[in-house]
Structure 1
Amino acid sequence: MKIKSKFLAVTLWFIAAGIGCSLVGLSGTYLYLSPQLPSVDTLRDVRLQTPLRIYSADGKLIGEFGDQRRTPVKFDDIPPLYIQALLAAEDAQFFTHHGVSIKGISRAVVELVTTGKKGSGGSTLTMQVARNYFLTKRKAFIRKFNEILLALRIEKELTKEEIFELYVNVTFLGKRAYGIEAAAQVYYGRTLNDLTLPELAMIAGLPQGPSFQNPIINPERAKERRNWILGRMFELGSINEETYAQAVATPVTAKYHGVNLDVYSPYVSEMARKKAIELFGYAAYTDGYRIYTTVDSRLQDTAQQAVVEGLITYDQRHGYRGPEQNLPLDQLDIKTDESGLSTTDYGPWLETLKATPSYGNLKPALVTGVEDQRIHVLTEENEILTLEWDQGLSSARPYITEDSRGPSPKLAEEIVAPGDLIRIKQQDGMWRLSQIPEAQAALISLSPQNGAIRALVGGFDFHQSNFNRVTQARRQPGSNFKPFVYTAALEHGMTAASIINDAPIVFEDGQLESTWRPENDGGRFYGPTRLREALYRSRNLVSIRILRNTGISNVIDGMSRFGFDESELPRDLSLALGSHDLTPLQVATGYAVFANGGYKVEPYLVEKILNFDGRAVFEALPPTVCNGCDDGEYLAQLSSQNDSGAEEDSSNNPYQIQGDPFQFDFEVKSLLGILEPSDYPKAPKVLDDQVAYIMDSILKDVVQKGTGYRAKALGRTDLAGKTGTTNGPKDAWFSGYNGNLVATTWVGFDQHSPLGKNEYGGSAALPIWIDFMKEALKGKPNTHRAQPPGMVTVRINPETGERARIDDPDAIFETFRAEHVPQFKSQNDATNQAMPYEESITEDLF
């Protein structure tokens, strides 16, 4: 009995000593590790890596950039079923424990002792938050102690809801998805609140093995994990038996969804991305910036479609170039069953189709069978489609050159053969034979009031070619440049009724490489011609004489107001025909001066940039047309605001990137949404009202009775513009506007190849412009410009440009500045050498 008592005492002493040592050890560990642990307070201000997102002016997503797809969510926005699913999978006692689960850790210790291997680790959600935000995932005892200590701290500092929110927003869930909202988009293409119970349970199971156990990489293992979670939810009473049975029977529907964009606008989003990198460096990809552009989503969609359809239409006029490639038939595995029926395994062909991208809605397809006037094609969805003779086959005349095509086909075998990779396009509910155009096009549309870019398309398809032809392609504008020359002529004394001789001319110009004999299209000359008619009919010889009479220096000296670099313009007579290379953006900016009544605006794309917290860190302050502003009052206001702004502390100014002189008033009005044109810097007046009015009326005649007559199909009276075609022809242009919108379109080959002898600005570029403006101006009233003071409208003789007699039956009305109104002159004294009036409308060539 004595021995037993002694043994018991020794045992108790060892137990007490062990406990004491453990306490001392734990205390020592705490004292050692505690000072090295990060502050939990940083979790309150944590900034998750969130990608750069780019939006249209009306809030539609048009681009996303960043390695991690993440959309943080608040706890109140998380579906209750997801909360229950995650707790069932990871930490059922989350809302009752204090950050550490003794039961979980004990289970992990027993597993380690019995198996000799470290298992799950018994981590709670709080411990996982500590690891995800502060520690590494390397399995080590010291890390586990840190995890426990941090978890206890986190539980003291944050609420359970805040901890849960941190967990679901940072956890990696596979396929570049970080956080549950991003995972919902990646795997199901929907928001978290739109997911079903089986889908929520699937996402709840991803943290265990996001890379190798997600439903795309390993759907079977992912389904097993999902069903286990559903079973746990049933055991815990989160769902009933019927709901459980239905959920586990649901098949796996997850598939990869790329960034779900609202508007296809890659050229715009790429420009915005470059702006973000310029301002914020590579932090732009991770710091959650949101860029709001000036682009209108409806106009952007319209522009994209107009460019694609315009190029396809142009391409069809020049013939079918044949299939892109031919796959050997022996790649296919053809099997015949007992009944004699054969089946074909298109596996290798499907791989080729999946690896072949679609461009401009032109889908790749492989020809599987050819009949007399019908073909069968395979799509990447393993679907066989039939194209009848009238579905693009009968019109597939072979391409020979840009000016010639072969005869119309009689049989389908003249067009394609089995194994040919072709392109098909859906139109009016039917698939048609098509092909990727080799020509390219660009469209830029902007507001003439402040230069805001409303739509921009830099080519047929960004993924085919990311070269942005709106901003990077410098091409000769041809006659698209003439209005700027004619403007200078009006400013230097000529009138819309001035007579200039349209006759042959030869130049021995030292600035040119050889003798120059410019011509009009078709080689005809029309004799004495009014300036107005010369522009709307695009007469080359008249334009050259106008430039020479006005003076090259006089014309060039005023070009900077239209946004052109005067030092780059050629100081020879070829300037009259647009021989200097310009980008479509430069041309459109120049036409904005005509559209807004004579003000210079600067094109811009980024309206504002918000940071992670929704605070504006950049907001554009574009020079804006303010027709109702008094210049004297405005300048006085600007001066006072500049003076006062210099004394204020601008350290917290969200507009400091622009050096905003209107900081307080502008910020407040911007937040309230009550900004007026007078709140912005004023666009400078660069063109006299009277000259601007005359030029506008002439450019309206281009549409009503000149080379842009096809635009009359829009049924509007407020459209103005000018065609342009360069020698070859190699470049086709149309720039046009009404009071609210300017648009420039260009068509050509990147390699400067000829477009074809019958391809002009009016036939290749103008149809794209019409398709765009038809939708852009739908439902919009006509805008009419008031005639400014100091102008007089009188009747003139159209052949002489002189004031017409009262009884002149051919007299027409013309508008003049008061000081330039022609005097009456006897009809008998007028010299009239004009050739017979030419009714046909021709396009210029240079």
Structure 2
Amino acid sequence: MPASWPKFANPLIPLEKMLNKKSVFSIIFWLLLAGVSVTAVTFAGLYLYLSPKLPPVDSLRQVKLQTPLRVYSSDGKLIGEFGEQRRTPLKYNQIPPLYLKALLAAEDAEFFEHHGVSLRGMLRAASQILKSGEIQSGGSTITQQLARDFFLTRKQVFSRKFNEILLSIQIEQEFTKEEILELFNNKMFFGNRAYGLQAAAQIYYGKDVQELTIAQNAMIVGVLKAPSAYNPVANPKRSMARRNWIIGRMHELQFIDKAAYDAAIREPNTASIHGSGQETQAPYISEMARKEAIDRFGEAAYTDGYKVYTTVDSAMQATAQVAVVNGLMNYDDRHGYRGPERRLAASTNPEMEDWQDQLQAIPVLGGLEAMAIVTVADKSISLLRANGDRLELDWQHGLSDKRPYLTEDSRGAAPKSAKDFLHPGDVVRVGRDKDGQPRLTQVPEAQSALVSLDPNSGAIRALVGGFDFNQSHFNRVLQGTRQPGSSFKPLLYTCALEHGFTPATMINDAPIVIRNEYTGEVWRPENDEGEFDGPISLRRALYRSKNLVSIRILKSLGVDTLIDSLERFGFNKKEFPRELALALGAHGLTPMQMATAYASFANGGFKIDPYLISKIENGQGEIVYEAHPKRVCKTCPDKKAETLTDSAEAPTGESVAEEEHAPRIIDARIAYIMDSILKDVVDKGTGVAAKSLGRTDLAGKTGTTNGPRDLWFSGYNPNLITTVWVGIDKNTLLGRREFGSTAALPIWIDFMRTALEGIPNQVVRQPDGIVTVRINPETGKPALPGENAIFEIFPTEISASGSTPAGIADEAPADETLPEGVL
């Protein structure tokens, strides 16, 4: 090319460049195509390989969520829960919108847009890791998490992730978004045995899920990421950071406004471990129901969501718990302070965390909290609680009256200084007085049991088996076989009335010496007060609880006659020894047995069978068992009811053809007479303190055994029979100034005052065949004109002459011989 030619760009060069770029794009295109093809083929191969091995996702419709056994009172209050997984399933429409917003903000904001897998979610999770160095939100969608938790493991391998994706896509095809959220929130683990949202709300906040705040919802959602690491109780700092991030995401996504965001961020961590949401404390009842459920359904009772409805009235049960605790505390206060429970070694750190650890291991009993004494002054003490708080008690809050226990009958002098009996490191109990003020006290050594029944059906309305279930699981109502003392006498007197005695029959209240002709042993029984009244009517002898009269009555009847008559009350007559001491209640019986027997006096002479469970529902709400108790029918013919269906053998909820009636075991007239005598016990006998209730329909009998070792009161009105026992498990002495009227009766009064509140006095109708006669109270014979007279009732066919079975009214010989085996 000549040099003079103008210089032009080579027209071939752009074409070369164009051809080179085209080649590069072509190569890239074919490489991408090849990569996509290989990936597609790989994924297709994986799909063909893994898909047949995947579980069918429609099995989620048949999934059985483990739901604990729950026990309820008759008025629907939760009183017990049993099972490893605490869960209360919710329907989708029961899940609060605020919680769903927190969940979507933290786990899957595009949940309602994707079809099981979110590419944007994965990319966002990756970017958050790059920015913060920590995982804030996972790449898995809610659907993927559901697939993993139901069908897979958490092992981080590619095949598991691919399976998770495939299952998620299938789940989205089979289920609606709402169904997926419902399954997810009922299935997921929130720590502390909480499975599902409702359980988490109860455990961490003691609330229904509808009551949670924005911050509380965010905190619960935060736990899902790692229940152990983000537990708001165990790891508050980390859980707060997670909670605040979720609140921020909610604001970022415009789920909440700025004001709600600011308020939620400022809210402190209020999470703590709460109980199961029990509305009434009835641990002995709960345990009885649990055993019944296990007997019926085996281990499935713990997981299949059974609901056991009991006959217990929640208000009566709460009153019974308080009455037993207060009664035992009052008894204990009368007998002196036994000193601290234990002494802790000197603390090894300024915060006394080692003491806190030891205190946390000591259960609260009867509302009495264990605390450690930090310092002791003359008139005050400083205490450390298990949670690290301090409490100051001055001289007037249970210190000044702590006279030391010496024996069951004596106490030492009142202290002049707290230093006289308390030292740093001592573990003591602190309760509350009637004004709610803290007070130094102690766990009582004595125990008590209370059971209350509906005498017309046998339904258990309240039951307390001891001071505190955490102290002892021993249910003294059912398992505590103790001597009932004089509270047994009404059973003897009923037998006497059936064998010719009348309320006016005169029996000699005089000393008696009984010698065993084979062993030579001598028994000299005495009355409680050590006095003798001479000839006394049967009525007066019972309401004044005369021991020697009872022995003479039994001697006249014969021991075998009495034992045979006891079988109708539900006792096993083979267990009773042939002893005259039976007249004084020397054979051990349980409070439940005594209450059952007394029910026959309360209902007019019928035999009822105590029962606790009214019905049981399965997890689907179907009734699988329903009780059909025999009920008292006073207008029905007096005949033993034929058993149509045994409720213990009918777990399917089948009903009987007609209602069964409780059989009559005492003649209506005898039952009426016994009721009138037992009313005298309250009106002018050993149970007179019960008159403080201001009722005229109360009846019952005290019981005090030798020692005394056992104190009783069994009493009733036509609506309720309640038996109370007080004693010491080791069967040691209670104190010579203690009686059934001083320890058991006050508990009974406290309970019945509330239990009968608002119920009018009941008037018992006098049955046919009863006559009222004016008699001379000194002779028991019909009163002559001008004589001092009282009115007494008799069965019509029995002579009102006051005649007595031969020999009973006569002066007893100084020495009497018993048959073999009797002492």
What's the TM-score once normalised by structure 1's chain length?
0.87
Task: Report deviation, 1:511.
Answer: 8.7
- Mapped pair 1:821 → 2:799: yes
Q: Which residue of 2 aligns with 1:81?
A: 98
Q: CA deviation at 1:832?
A: 9.6
> What SS is found at the alignment partner of 1:291?
strand
Deviations 1:6-31 (Å, cap 9, x if unpaired)?
88777766655554554444344334
C-alpha distance in 1, partners of 2:259/2:399?
A: 56
Secondary structure of residue in 2 paired with 1:433: strand
Q: Secondary structure at the match of 2:771?
A: strand
| More moved, 741-750 vs 654-663 | 654-663
* 2:224 alignment partner, SS class: helix
Check conservation: 1:617, 1:655, Cα contact below 8 A: no
Report the CA distance between 1:812 and its aligned residue: 0.8
Which digits, 9 at most, give the CA deviation of each residue in 1:54-108, with x for residues without a partner? Answer: 1111111111111112111122122212111111111111001111223345678
Asked if 2 retains the 8 angstrom alpha-carbon contact of 1:443 and 1:457, the reply is yes
CA-to-aligned-CA distance 1:705-725 (integer Å, 9 cap, x gap) = 111111111111111111111
- Following superposition, the deviation at residue 173 of structure 1 comes to 1.2
What letter matches 1:657 in structure 2?
A: A
- Confirm or deny that 1:603 pairs with 2:610: yes
Report how far residue 510 of structure 1 moved: 6.2
Give the 5 Å matches for 1:280-291.
Answer: 280-291=297-308
For the residue of structure 1 that corresponds to 2:71, the secondary structure is strand
2:706 aligns with one of 699, 715, 727? 727
- Alpha-carbon separation, structure 2, partners of 1:472 and 1:326: 34
Residue 3 of structure 1 and its aligned partner are, at CA, apart by: 9.3
Q: Is 2:656 the partner of 1:681?
A: no
Which residue of 1 is the match for residue 58 of structure 2? 41
Q: What is the CA–CA distance in structure 2 between the aligned matches of 1:11 and 1:376, rounded to whole Å?
A: 81
Paired position in structure 1 for 2:211: 194
Residue type matched to 1:755 in 2?
A: L
Give the direction of change, closer, same or farther, for the CA distance of 1:102–1:331 in structure 2 (3 Å limit). Answer: closer
- Structure 1 residue aligned with 2:455: 448
Task: Show the counterpart of 1:702.
Answer: 681
Alignment of 1:105-504 (within 5 A): 122-327=139-344, 333=350, 345-427=351-433, 428-504=435-511
**Which of the residues 655, 671, 676 maps onto 1:662?**
655
Looking at structure 2, the residues matched to 113 and 225 of structure 1 have their Cα atoms a distance apart, in angstroms, of 18
Cα pair 2:244 2:265 within 8 Å, conserved: yes
- Contact 1:422–1:434 (8 Å) recurs in 2: yes
Specify which of 760, 770, 777 is matched with residue 756 of structure 2: 777
C-alpha contact 2:486 2:703 (8 A) present in aligned 1? yes
1:118 and 1:363 mapped to 2: Cα distance? 43
- Matching residue's letter, 1:709: V
1:668 counterpart residue number:
none
Equivalence map 1:751-830=2 (5 Å): 751-809=730-788, 811-823=789-801
> In the TM superposition, what is the alpha-carbon distance from 1:736 to its structure 2 partner?
0.5
Q: Whole-Å Cα distance in 1 between the matches of residues 413 and 262 of structure 2?
A: 65
In structure 2, how many angstroms separate the alpha carbons of the residues matched to 1:617 and 1:599? 29
**TM superposition shift of 1:414:** 2.7
Change in 2 beyond 3 A, CA 1:788/1:27 = same
Change (3 A) 1:195 1:477: same
Greater shift after overlay, 216-225 or 789-798? 216-225
Q: Is the 8 A contact 1:497 1:801 kept in 2?
A: yes
Q: Which amino acid aligns with 2:456?
A: Q
Partner of 1:339: none
Q: 1:721 to 1:95 in 2, by over 3 A?
A: same
Query: What secondary structure does 1:43 align onto?
Result: helix
Matched, 1:749 2:750: no
Whole-Å Cα distance in 1 between the matches of residues 809 and 156 of structure 2?
Answer: 101
Cα 1:110/1:775, change in 2 over 3 Å:
closer
Residue among 32, 48, 72 paired with 2:89: 72
**CA pair 553-250 structure 1, distance change in 2 beyond 3 A:** same
Greater mean deviation of Cα atoms: 443-452 or 172-181: 172-181
CA distance in structure 2 between the aligned counterparts of 1:118 and 1:205, rounded to whole angstroms:
12
User: Are the aligned partners of 2:508 and 2:811 in contact in 1 as well (CA < 8 Å)?
Assistant: no
Farther-moved stretch of structure 1 (546-555 vs 473-482): 546-555
Do residues 718 (structure 1) and 725 (structure 2) align?
no
Take 2:744 and 2:303, find their aligned partners in 1: how far apart are those partners? 41
Q: Is the 8 A contact 2:504 2:802 kept in 1?
A: no
Instruction: Find the counterpart in structure 2 of residue 29 from structure 1.
Output: 46
C-alpha distance after superposition, 1:810-845 (max 9, x if no partner):
x111100001132399xxxx99989xxxxxxxxxxx
Distance 1:562 1:763 in 2: 28
1:529 aligned counterpart, secondary structure: strand
Q: In structure 2, how many angstroms separate the alpha carbons of the residues matched to 1:6 and 1:329?
A: 85
**Is the contact between residue 508 and residue 549 of structure 2 (CA under 8 Å) also seen in structure 1?**
yes
CA distance in 1, matches of 2:48, 2:520: 87
Q: Deviations over 1:503-562 (max 9, x none)?
A: 222223469883222221233322212111111111111111111211222211121221
The DSSP-based 3-state class of the residue aligned with 1:579 is coil
Pairwise CA RMSD of aligned residues?
3.1
Q: Where does residue 508 of structure 1 map in the other structure?
A: 515
Give the counterpart of 1:622 among 624, 629, 641: 629
Q: 1:513 to 1:103 in 2, by over 3 A?
A: farther
Whether contact under 8 Å (1:520, 1:541) holds in the other structure is: yes
Structure 2 unaligned residues grouped into runs of 5+: 1-15, 813-822
Change (3 A) 1:15 1:451: same
Does the residue aligned with 2:724 lie in a helix, a strand or coil? Answer: strand
Question: What is the CA-CA distance between 1:34 and the residue it aligns to?
Answer: 3.0
How many angstroms apart in 2 are the aligned matches of 1:227 and 1:366? 38
Q: CA distance change for structure 1 residues 386 and 5 in 2, over 3 Å: closer, same or farther?
A: closer
Structure 1 residues 10-19 or 189-198, which shifts more?
A: 10-19
State the match for 1:341 in structure 2. none
Structure 1 pair 331–209 and aligned structure 2 pair: CA distance change class (3 A): closer
Mapped to 2, the partners of 1:511 and 1:438 lie a distance apart of: 40
Question: Structure 1 residue 373: deviation in Å?
Answer: 3.8
TM superposition shift of 1:390: 3.5
Partners of 1:521 and 1:512 in 2: CA distance: 27
- Distance in 2, matches of 1:53 and 1:824, equals 59
- State the Cα distance separating 1:41 from its structure 2 match: 2.5
> CA contact under 8 A between 1:621 and 1:660: conserved in structure 2?
no
1:583 counterpart = 2:562:
no
Q: Say which is worse superposed, 23-32 or 444-453, in terms of deviation.
A: 23-32
8 Å contact 2:625–2:653 — kept in the other structure?
A: no
Count residues with an aligned counterpart. Answer: 791
- 1:675 is matched with which residue? none
Deviates more, 1:698-707 or 1:179-188: 179-188
Deviations 1:439-483 (A, max 9, x none): 111111111011111111111111111111111111111111111
Once residues 8 and 375 of structure 1 are traced to their aligned partners in structure 2, the CA distance between those partners, rounded to angstroms, is 88
- TM-superposed CA distance for 1:120, in Å, is 7.7
Alpha-carbon separation, structure 2, partners of 1:768 and 1:352: 34
Query: Which one is further off, 12-21 or 440-449?
Result: 12-21
What per-residue deviation string (whole Å, max 9, x for no partner) do you get for residues 118-171 of structure 1?
A: 998732111111111222222222222222222122112211011011111111
Bigger mean CA deviation after superposition, 573-582 or 40-49: 40-49
Structure 1 723/111 Cα, relative in aligned 2: closer, same or farther at 3 Å? Answer: closer
